Structure 1
Amino acid sequence: MVTAVRPRPRPTPTALRHPALRHLGPHWYACVMGTAVVASAGAGLPWQPPGLRAACAAVWALSLFLLVTLLAARALHWRHHPDQARAHLLDPAAAPFYGCLAMALLSVGGGALTVGRDWIGVPAAVALDAVLFTAGTAVGLAAAVVVPYLMAVRHEIAPGQAAPAWLLPLVAPMVSAALGPALVPHLPAGQPRETLLLGCLALFGASLLATLLMLPLVFARLLTGDPLPPALTPTLFLVLGPLGQSTTAVGNVADVAPGVLPAPYAENLTVPAVLYGVPVMGFALLWLALAAAHVVRARRHGLRFSMTWWSFTFPVGTCVTGATALSRHTGLAVYEGLALLLYGVLVTAWAVAAVGTARGVAGGRLLAAPR
C-alpha cells in the first residue's frame, strides 16, 4: 500500500507580498511635506485669527501620522520589493524624490517645535524635533551627494531633459538651515549653540550654490526645449522651494544669532537677511507668475490631477514663511499681507491635493512615480 504524499505548499514569492506597495515611490513624502508646512506656516503668520493655532496643531498631528505611515510602508517596500526600490534609485525620474524623505522628516520635526508642542509639551517636542532634524539632515546631505552622482554616472539623461524635480535633493539642506535655528536655544550655551547655528549657515551655502548651478539648466529647458508635459508642469512650482526657504533661513538665523554668535557678527545679520530676502522674494513672485501661466496652459492641454499637484503646497509654504520673516525684520505691512495671501493659496492648494490624493488612493491609482 502506497501512501500519497501531499506536496508542501510553496512559500509565497517575495514579489507577491504587499503588491499594492510595489510601486510606492519616494515622491509620496511630498504629502507629508505639504501637510506639515500648512501647520508651521500658519502658526507663524503675523495675524492670528481665533482658532488658527488649534487648527494648525491638528494639521501637524495629521502630518506626523502620515510620516509614520509612509515610513512603515516604505520599509515594507524595501523589504519585499528590493528590486523595485533599487530601480527607483536608478530611475532619473524617481531618484530626485529621495530629497522628499529628508524634507518630510525635517518639516514634521520643525512643526513639532512650532505648534506640536501645544499637544505633546515642550520637552517631547524638542526631543522629537532633535531626532527628526538629525535624521533629516543626514538623509538630506546624503541625497544631495548620491542623487547628483547617480545622475552623472548611472542615469541616461539627454541635454534637454532637465526637470524642476532635479532641485529636490539640493533643497533638503536648505530646509535644515531654515529649521535648525529653532533648536539652538534648547542646546547648552556656548559652543554647542554656536556650532549648530554656523552649521545651519554652512547648509545654507551648500544648498544655495548647488541650486544656482542647477536652476539655469531648468530655465534653459523652458526657453529652448518643448514645454513640459502637462502632468509635469506643476513641478515648476518646486523652484519656489529654494527661494522661499533660503529667505526663511537667513531670517531665522538672524533672529537667533544675538547671544549665540560673537557680537560683531550677531549684530549685523539682520541687514544681510533683509538685503538678501527682499530681492529673492521678488524673484520668487516673478517665478510664481511664470509657473502659474504654464499651469494654465497645461490645463488647456489636458492637465489632470496627479501627485505632482503636491508641488503647489510645500514650495508655496516656504514663500509664506519667507514673507513672514521679512515682515518681522522690516515691519512692512506689505509683507504681512503677502504672507496672508500666499497662505490662502497654500491652504487651497493643500485641500485640492489632499482630496485628489484620497480619491486616487480609493481608486487604486497614483502609485507610480511622476514622469
Structure 2
Amino acid sequence: MSVIRQFGPSWFTTVMGVGIVAVLTYTSPFPIPYQHDIGAVLFGLLNAIFIVAFLFWLFRWIFHTDEALNDFRHPARALFYGAFAMGINVVGNDYLLIGSHILNSGLATDISKVVWVAGTIVSIFTVIVVPYLLFTEHEVEQHQALATWLIPVVPPIVAAATGANLIPFWGGAGTQFAITALIFAMFGATFFLFIMISGLVYARLVYHKRLSGEAAPSLWVEIGPIGMSMGTFSTLPLKTQAILGQYANMLHVIGLVFSMALWGIGIWWIVISTMHTLLHLSKRGEGLPFHMGWWSYVFPIGSFTSGTYALDHLVSYPFYTIAGFVQLLILWGCFAVVFARTATGVWKGSLIQWRSSHWTRYGLSNEKRTA
C-alpha cells in the first residue's frame, strides 16, 4: 500500500520510453541484426510495465484517493498526466506496428484502435484540464517556466501521429475522413500551444539564471512535439490518398516542406540541449542528479527519430535513412543509461520506497506500514 501511495503518473514516462525504443528498433529502415527479435522482447516488456503501472495508478485512485487528487492541485505533478496519456498512445501504436506481426493481425489492429481511442480521450482531457488548472488554481512564477509545461499539451499531437497510421483501418471513406479531421484538429491544438509555451521557455532561458542541473533534462522535452509534428505531416499524405483525392498531392508537398523545416529546428534544440547537459557535466556545472525526469533523454529523442523515419518514408532518399539510424544509436545509448539507472533506483528503494530500511528512515513504524 505504501508503494501504491507513492506511485504518481510520472512513472508512465517509463512506458513512453520503452515503447518508443521498441517500435523504432523493430521498424528501423536501416537493417539492424536481430532488430525484430529485440523489438519483440521490448514489446513484451512494454506490456508488462504498462499493466503494472496502470494497476498501481488505478489502485492509488481507489485506496489513496486524496493523494491522487492532490496531483491535480500540485503545479508540477499535474503535468505528468500528459505522460499517462502519451503512454497509452504509445502502447496502441506498438500493437499496430509490432503486435500485428506477432499476434493475429486483425486482433492486434483492433486492440490498437481501442487503445488509440482511449488515449485520444485522455489526451483531450489533459490538454484542457491541466492548462485550465494552471490558469485558475496553480501559482507559478516566470522563472518556473520549463519545457515540462509541454507534457500535458503534447498528448494530442502524439495521438495525431499514432492515429495517422490507423486511418486506412477505419472502414469507409466517411469514417476515415472524420478521423483525419480529428487528427488535424489535435495537431492544431498542440502545435500552437507548443509555440506559445516554447516562447515562455525561451524567455525564461534569456532573462533568468541558467537552468540547474536538476532542471536541465527538461529542455529535451521540446524535441518531442517537433518529432511528432514531422511524423503526422509525413504520414498523412501516404495514408489519405484514397479519401483526399486531388488534395493528396498538395498535402504531400506541404508535408515534405513542413517536416524538413521542422527537422532543422529539432536539430537546433538537440544541440542546445546537449550543450546544457555537457555544461552541467563539466566543472562549471552542478552535475545531473538522477530522477524520473531523465526519461526526457529517451522519449523526446525517440519522437524526433520517429519523425525522421516518417520523413524517410515520404521522400525515400538515403539522407534521412542514415540520419534515422544515427538517431536510433543515440537513443539506444540514452535508453540503456536511463533504464539501468531507473531499475537500480527501484531496486535500492531510492526512487520508490519499498524496503524496511527506508520506512524506518522516514519514521514509518511497522504498525503504520501494515495499516
- Regarding TM over 0.5, the answer is yes
Q: Would you say 1:89 and 2:35 are equivalent positions? A: no
Aligned to 1:78: 61
Distance 1:25 1:230, change over 3 A: same
Q: In 2, Cα distance between the equivalents of 1:107 and 1:151?
A: 26
Q: Deviations over 1:178-207 (max 9, x none)?
A: 011222221212201111122111111111
Give 2:363's aligned residue. none
| CA-CA distance at 1:80 after TM superposition | 1.7
Partner Cα separation in structure 2 for residue 355 and residue 267 of structure 1: 46
Name 1:177's counterpart in structure 2: 160
Partner Cα distance (1:197, 1:184) in 2: 7
- Uncovered stretches (5+) of structure 1, i.e. residues with no partner: 1-17
Counterpart of 1:25? Answer: 8
Task: Name 1:303's counterpart in structure 2.
Answer: 288
Which secondary structure does the structure 1 equivalent of 2:153 belong to?
Answer: helix
Point out the more displaced range, 81-90 or 359-368. 359-368
Letter in 2 for 1:281: W
Aligned-partner SS, 2:246:
helix
Matching residue of 1:269: 251
Change (3 A) 1:23 1:299: farther
Task: Kindly tell me the number of residue pairs found equivalent between the two proteins.
Answer: 350
Q: CA deviation at 1:21?
A: 2.2
1:82-129 CA distances to partner (integer Å, 9 max, x unpaired)?
222111111111111100011000001101100122222212211211
CA RMSD of aligned residues (A): 1.3
Partner residue in 2 for 1:356: 341
CA separation in 1, counterparts of 2:44 and 2:147? 29
Of 64, 82, 90, which residue of structure 2 is paired with 1:99?
82
Residue 278 (structure 1) shift: 0.9
Give the residue type in structure 2 aligned to 1:127: D
- Note if 1:279 corresponds to 2:261: yes
TM-score by length of 1: 0.92
Q: Distance in 2 between matches of 1:233 and 1:337?
A: 28
Structure 1 residue aligned with 2:299, among 299, 310, 314?
314
Whole-Å separation in 1 of the counterparts to 2:36 and 2:177: 31
2:311/2:320 contact within 8 Å kept: yes
* Counterpart in the other structure of 2:36: 53
Deviation digits for residues 248-273 of structure 1 (CA, Å, limit 9, x no counterpart)? 01111111011122x12122211111
The aligned counterpart of 1:10 is none
- For 1:294, the equivalent position in structure 2 comes to 276
Query: CA separation in 1, counterparts of 2:174 and 2:352?
Result: 46
Q: Deviations over 1:280-317 (max 9, x none)?
A: 11010011010011111223312122211110111111
Alpha-carbon separation, structure 2, partners of 1:27 and 1:233: 17
**AA at the equivalent of 1:45:** S
Letter of the aligned partner of 1:99 in structure 2? G
1:366 is aligned to 351
Structure-2-length-normalised TM-score: 0.92
What CA distance in whole angstroms lies between the structure 1 residues aligned with 2:259 and 2:7?
37
For residues 1-371 of structure 1, the aligned pairs below 5 Å read 18-261=1-244, 263-300=245-282, 301-367=286-352
In the TM superposition, residue 44 of structure 1 has moved relative to its aligned partner by 2.7
> Runs of 5+ in structure 2 lacking a partner?
354-371
Shift of 1:228: 2.0
Secondary structure (helix, strand or coil) at the match of 2:214 reads: helix
User: Matched residues in 1 for 2:56 and 2:96: separation?
Assistant: 26
Q: CA deviation at 1:66?
A: 0.8
Q: Is the 8 A contact 1:178 1:249 kept in 2?
A: yes
How far 1:332 moved relative to its partner?
Answer: 2.6
Q: Which residue is 1:13 aligned to?
A: none
Report the secondary structure of 2:215's partner residue: helix
The alignment partner of 1:62 has SS state of helix
Give aligned-pair identity as a percent. 29
Greater Rg by CA: 1
Q: Distance in 1 between matches of 2:240 and 2:227?
A: 20
- Contact (CA 8 Å) 1:257, 1:269: kept in 2 or not? no
Distance in structure 2 (CA, Å) of the matches to 1:109 and 1:61 = 13
Is contact 1:37–1:107 with CA below 8 Å preserved after alignment?
A: yes
Contact 2:30–2:322 (8 Å) recurs in 1: no
Amino acid at match of 2:204: R
1:142-194 C-alpha deviation (Å, 9 max, x unpaired): 10010000001111111221011100111100011101122222121220111
Aligned-partner Cα distance in 2 for 1:78–1:367: 18
Residues 56, 205 of structure 1: alpha-carbon distance in 2 compared, 3 angstrom cutoff: same
Q: Which moved more, 1:269-278 or 1:295-304?
A: 295-304
CA deviation vs aligned residue, 1:41-60 (integer Å, no higher than 9, x gap): 22332212232022112211
Question: Aligned partners of 1:290 and 1:299: how far apart in 2?
Answer: 14
CA distance in 1, matches of 2:251, 2:278: 40
Contact 1:61 1:116 in 2 (8 A): no
